[in-house]
C-alpha cells in the first residue's frame, strides 16, 4: 500500500513524515523531474506501507514543477491513499487544496495538524462537523508534541474514502464541464483542469480551448480566477460552519521587528555575518582534523607503498580528491547547511527575502533570489540548484551568474589563508568588497541586457517556529547529498586527469606557455598558473597547489604582498569550480554554463591585470 502525504508548505508535513517513518528514509527523484521525494516504510498489521512525503503545494492547478508533480500523481492515481495535512490555524485557506483533491474521487484522510497552536490562538474546530461535511475522516494532531501521530496509519489504511463536498461552480463553468464530460468522456476534475490549460488529451484540450474565451468574455476574469474564487467561497462556507474564534491569548509578534528596515536589516546583517563566522571557525577546525586523518591513514601510506609511479599517481590523485572533497564538504558545507536549515525551518529565511526584495529588483531579481545567494556562501552547487524556485529563465540566468561570483566557503579559505593570514584582515575585507562591487555591477548590467520581464515575488511568510533537530538534520543531509552526488565524482575524475597531466608533463607545457602572460599581465610567477588551473577543480586547491609549487607554506618568502593579493583575487573570481560548472550545465544548459565560465575567466584576469597595472 502507498500513502502520499500532501499539503500546503509549512503545515508540518515533513515532521509528520519523519515521525511516521523514523530512520531509513530514501530520497529519490520523481521520474522525469528534478524534484526530490522522501520515501519511507511503515509496518502496520504485518503489512509494509510505503509513505511518500510530497512537496508542499498550494494548489493542484499550479504551473511550477512541484505542483505539476503532485498533480501528476493525483491524475495517475499513483497512491492508494492521500493523507492531506491541514494547518488548523489557517483552516480556510488550507481547505482550498482539500476541495481540489476531493474532486478527483480518491481515498483521502484529513490530518488536522497544529491543533495546539490553534488552541493558543483561540481557534476551536468542530472535528465531527468538518468530517461529516466533507465526507472523509479527520484526525486532529499536534506533530510538534507527537500527539495522535500513531493514529494516522491505522486511519489511512482502514477508513480512507473519497470526499463528498462538491464545489458549486459558476453556471458557465458548470456548463463547460458538462460539455467536456460529454465531448471527451472525461471526469469532472480533468475537465476543470483542461479549462485551466492542463491536460494531454488533444480532443479535450481543443474543446476546452474553444469554450474558455466565451467564459472570459462573460466574466471578464480568467477561468483560473473564476474557479479559484468559487473554491475559496466554498472553503469559506465550510470554515464558517466549523471554526469558532475566541479571544486569543496575548503573545508577542517578532515580525514587527524583523520585517522593518530598523531593526530588521541590522538584525539580518548581524545574523548573516555571525553565521559565516561560525561556519568559518568550526569549518577550519574540523578541516584540519579531517585532512590530517586522511594524510595519516591514506595519503602517506600510498606515497610510501612503492607502487608503480603511474598507479601511484592515479591513486594519489583519487586520495587527494576524496581528502579535499570531504575536507570541504563536511567541515564547511555541512556546518553551513546545518545553520541554514535552522534558518529555513524557523521561517526567518522568508523574512530575509521580504527585506531584500527591493534591493534584488535592482538586479532584475526578486526577494526569493536572496535564498540561493545566501546558500552560495556555503557552496555554489546546491545554491545553483536552488534557482529552480525562481519563476522565469531570465531570473534563473541572472541568479546563476551572480551565485557563481558569491565567495563560497572554499573561496573564503583562499581569502583567509592567503590574504588574511599574510597581509591582514583589512586586506581580506577589501577583497570581499571588490567581489561584492563586481557582483552588484554585474547584476545591474545583466538586469538591463537580459531579455524577458521580471516575474515578481509572491511569497507566504509562515509563522516563526522553533526548528526541530531531526528535520534540520534531514534538510542538511539533502543539501550535502547534492554536493556529494554531483561534486565528489567530478572531483575524483578531474583530479585523476590533472594528476595524469602532471605525470606526462602536460601541466609543465601549459605552465611554460602561459608564463609570459602571467608574469607580464598579472605579475605572478609561472607556477601560479598551474595553481589557478587546479583551482578549477576545487577552489581552495589553488591555495594548496600554490604552497606545494612554492615549496613552502610561508608564502611571503616567495611572493610579494601584491602578488598574493592578486592571486587571491584572480582565483576567487576566476571560473567557478568544476562541480559548479557541471550543475550549471544541468540546470541552465551547457551554453549558459560555458558563457558564465568565460565571463568569470575574463573578469578574474581583468581584475588581476587592473590591480597589477595600478600598483606596479
List residues binding other proteins (CB under 8 A). Answer: 58-59, 61-63, 89-90, 92-93, 96, 216, 220-222, 224-225, 228-229, 232, 255, 259-261, 350, 353-355, 357-358, 361, 366-367, 391-392, 454-461
Q: Is 128 part of any known ligand binding site? A: no
Query: How far, CA to CA in Å, does 244 sit from each of 11, 95, 119, 568?
Result: 20, 16, 11, 63
Counting Cα atoms < 13 Å in the Cβ hemisphere of 280 gives 19
**Complex with other proteins: residue 23 or 261, whichever CB lies closer:** 261
**Complex with other proteins: residue 336 or 354, whichever CB lies closer:** 354
* 47-53/36-44 β-pairing: antiparallel
Counting Cα atoms < 13 Å in the Cβ hemisphere of 546 gives 26
Q: Is 13 part of any known ligand binding site? A: yes
**Complex with other proteins: residue 238 or 408, whichever CB lies closer:** 238
CB of 256 to other proteins, least distance (A): 8
**Complex with other proteins: residue 351 or 468, whichever CB lies closer:** 351
Q: Is 115 part of any known ligand binding site? A: yes
**Complex with other proteins: residue 455 or 493, whichever CB lies closer:** 455
Number of Cβ within a 10 Å radius of residue 353: 20
Residues with Cβ < 8 Å from 365, sequence gap 6 or more? 390, 395, 398, 399, 402, 443, 447, 454
CB of 203 to other proteins, least distance (A): 24
Q: How far is 262 from 257, CA to CA, in rounded Å?
A: 7
CB of 593 to other proteins, least distance (A): 26
Q: How far is 363 from 361, CA to CA, in rounded Å?
A: 5
**Complex with other proteins: residue 140 or 264, whichever CB lies closer:** 264
**Complex with other proteins: residue 354 or 483, whichever CB lies closer:** 354
CB of 387 to other proteins, least distance (A): 17
Q: How far is 85 from 56, CA to CA, in rounded Å?
A: 10
Q: How far is 538 from 408, CA to CA, in rounded Å?
A: 11
Q: Is 247 part of any known ligand binding site? A: no
- Of 410, 419, 432, nearest to 560 by C-alpha is 419
> To which residue does cell 474546530 refer?
125
C-alpha cell at 72: 501528476
Element (H, E) at 4: strand 2-7
Cα torsion 161, 164, 165, 171: sign: positive
Q: Is 170 part of any known ligand binding site? A: no
Q: Is 472 part of any known ligand binding site? A: no
Find how far residue 282's CA is from the centre of its chain: 23
DSSP-assigned beta bridge partners for residue 38:
27, 53
Name the 3-class secondary structure at 482: helix
CB of 95 to other proteins, least distance (A): 10
> To which residue does cell 530598523 refer?
262
Q: Is 201 part of any known ligand binding site? A: no
- Of 446, 250, 472, 469, nearest to 349 by C-alpha is 472
CB of 62 to other proteins, least distance (A): 6
Q: Is 21 part of any known ligand binding site? A: yes
Residues with Cβ < 8 Å from 392, sequence gap 6 or more? 452, 453, 454, 455
CB of 137 to other proteins, least distance (A): 25
Query: How far, CA to CA in Å, does 55 sit from each of 28, 34, 63, 389?
Result: 13, 12, 14, 13
CB of 12 to other proteins, least distance (A): 15
Whether the upstream peptide bond of residue 263 has omega within 30° of 0, thus cis, is yes
C-alpha cell at 101: 483533491
CB of 227 to other proteins, least distance (A): 8
**Complex with other proteins: residue 213 or 516, whichever CB lies closer:** 213
**Complex with other proteins: residue 102 or 480, whichever CB lies closer:** 102
Q: Is 377 part of any known ligand binding site? A: no
Q: Is 14 part of any known ligand binding site? A: yes
CB of 229 to other proteins, least distance (A): 4
Question: What does the angle CA 103 – CA 457 – CA 191 come to, to the nearest 5 degrees?
Answer: 20
Q: How far is 153 from 164, CA to CA, in rounded Å?
A: 22
Phi, psi angles (nearest 5°) of residue 81: -140, 140
**Complex with other proteins: residue 77 or 358, whichever CB lies closer:** 358
**Complex with other proteins: residue 214 or 460, whichever CB lies closer:** 460
Name the 3-class secondary structure at 41: strand
Q: Is 535 part of any known ligand binding site? A: no
DSSP-assigned beta bridge partners for residue 81:
3
**Complex with other proteins: residue 41 or 236, whichever CB lies closer:** 236
CB of 266 to other proteins, least distance (A): 14
CB of 86 to other proteins, least distance (A): 13
Q: How far is 498 from 480, CA to CA, in rounded Å?
A: 25
Residues tagged in the binding site annotation for GTP: 7-14, 32-36, 53-56, 113-116
Residues tagged in the binding site annotation: 7-14, 21-22, 32-36, 53-56, 113-116
Residues tagged in the binding site annotation for Mg(2+): 21-22
Amino acid at each position: 500500500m502507498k500513502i502520499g502525504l500532501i499539503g500546503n508548505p509549512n503545515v508540518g508535513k515533513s515532521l509528520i513524515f519523519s515521525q511516521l517513518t523514523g530512520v531509513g528514509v530514501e530520497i529519490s527523484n520523481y521520474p522525469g523531474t528534478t524534484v526530490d521525494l522522501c520515501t519511507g516504510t511503515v509496518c502496520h498489521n504485518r503489512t509494509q506501507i510505503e509513505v511518500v512525503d510530497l512537496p508542499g503545494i498550494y494548489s493542484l492547478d499550479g504551473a511550477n514543477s512541484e505542483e505539476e508533480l503532485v498533480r501528476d500523481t493525483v491524475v495517475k492515481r499513483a497512491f492508494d491513499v492521500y493523507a492531506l495535512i491541514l494547518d488548523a490555524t489557517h483552516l480556510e485557506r488550507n481547505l482550498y487544496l482539500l476541495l481540489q483533491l476531493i474532486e478527483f474521487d480518491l481515498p483521502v484522510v484529513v490530518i488536522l495538524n497544529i491543533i495546539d497552536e490553534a488552541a493558543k490562538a483561540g481557534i476551536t474546530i468542530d472535528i465531527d462537523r468538518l468530517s461529516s461535511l466533507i465526507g472523509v475522516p479527520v484526525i486532529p494532531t499536534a506533530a510538534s508534541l507527537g500527539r495522535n501521530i500513531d493514529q494516522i496509519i491505522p486511519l489511512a489504511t482502514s477508513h480512507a474514502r473519497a470526499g463528498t463536498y462538491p464545489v458549486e461552480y459558476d453556471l458557465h463553468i458548470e456548463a463547460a464541464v458538462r460539455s467536456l464530460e460529454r465531448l471527451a468522456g472525461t471526469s469532472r476534475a480533468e475537465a476543470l483542469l483542461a479549462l485551466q490549460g492542463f491536460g494531454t488529451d488533444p480532443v479535450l484540450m481543443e474543446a476546452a480551448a474553444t469554450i474558455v474565451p466565451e467564459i472570459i468574455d462573460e466574466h471578464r476574469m480568467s477561468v483560473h480566477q473564476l474557479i479559484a474564487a468559487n473554491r475559496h467561497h466554498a472553503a469559506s462556507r465550510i470554515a464558517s460552519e466549523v471554526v469558532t474564534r475566541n479571544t486569543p491569548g496575548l503573545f508577542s509578534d517578532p515580525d514587527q521587528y524583523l520585517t522593518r528596515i530598523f531593526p530588521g536589516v541590522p538584525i539580518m546583517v548581524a545574523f548573516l555575518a555571525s553565521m559565516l563566522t561560525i561556519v568559518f571557525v568550526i569549518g577550519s577546525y574540523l578541516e584540519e582534523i579531517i585532512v590530517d586523518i586522511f594524510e595519516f591513514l591514506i595519503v602517506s601510506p600510498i606515497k610510501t607503498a612503492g607502487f608503480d609511479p603511474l598507479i601511484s599517481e592515479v591513486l594519489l590523485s583519487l586520495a587527494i580528491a576524496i581528502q579535499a572533497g570531504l575536507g570541504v564538504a563536511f567541515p564547511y558545507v555541512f556546518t553551513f547547511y546545518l545553520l541554514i536549515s535552522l534558518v529555513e525551518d524557523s521561517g526567518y529565511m522568508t523574512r530575509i527575502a521580504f527585506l531584500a526584495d527591493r534591493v534584488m529588483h535592482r538586479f532584475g531579481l526578486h526577494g526569493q533570489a536572496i535564498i540561493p545567494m545566501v546558500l552560495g556562501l556555503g557552496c555554489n552547487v546546491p545554491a545553483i540548484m536552488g534557482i529552480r524556485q525562481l519563476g522565469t529563465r531570465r531570473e534563473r540566468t541572472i541568479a546563476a551568474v551572480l551565485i557563481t561570483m558569491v565567495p563560497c566557503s572554499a573561496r573564503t579559505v583562499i581569502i583567509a589563508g592567503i590574504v588574511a593570514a599574510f597581509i591582514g584582515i583589512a586586506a581580506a575585507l577589501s577583497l570581499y568588497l571588490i567581489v561584492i562591487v563586481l557582483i552588484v555591477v554585474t547584476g545591474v548590467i545583466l538586469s538591463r541586457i537580459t531579455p524577458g520581464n521580471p516575474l515578481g515575488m509572491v511569497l507566504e511568510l509562515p509563522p516563526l517556529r522553533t526548528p526541530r533537530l531531526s528535520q534540520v538534520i534531514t534538510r542538511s543531509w539533502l543539501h550535502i547529498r547534492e554536493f556529494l552526488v554531483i561534486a565528489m565524482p567530478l572531483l575524483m575524475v578531474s583530479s585523476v586527469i590533472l594528476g595524469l597531466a602532471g605525470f606526462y608533463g602536460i601541466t609543465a607545457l601549459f605552465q611554460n606557455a602561459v608564463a609570459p602572460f602571467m608574469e607580464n599581465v598579472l605579475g605572478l610567477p609561472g607556477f601560479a598558473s598551474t595553481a589557478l588551473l587546479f583551482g578549477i577543480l576545487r577552489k581552495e586547491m589553488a591555495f594548496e597547489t600554490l604552497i606545494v609549487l612554492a615549496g613552502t607554506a610561508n608564502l611571503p618568502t616567495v611572493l610579494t604582498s601584491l602578488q598574493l593579493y592578486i592571486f587571491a583575487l584572480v582565483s576567487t573570481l576566476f571560473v567557478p569550480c568544476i562541480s559548479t560548472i557541471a550543475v550549471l550545465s544541468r540546470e541552465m544548459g551547457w551554453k549558459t554554463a560555458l558563457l558564465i565560465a568565460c565571463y568569470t575567466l575574463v573578469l578574474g584576469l581583468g581584475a588581476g591585470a587592473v590591480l597589477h597595472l595600478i600598483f606596479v
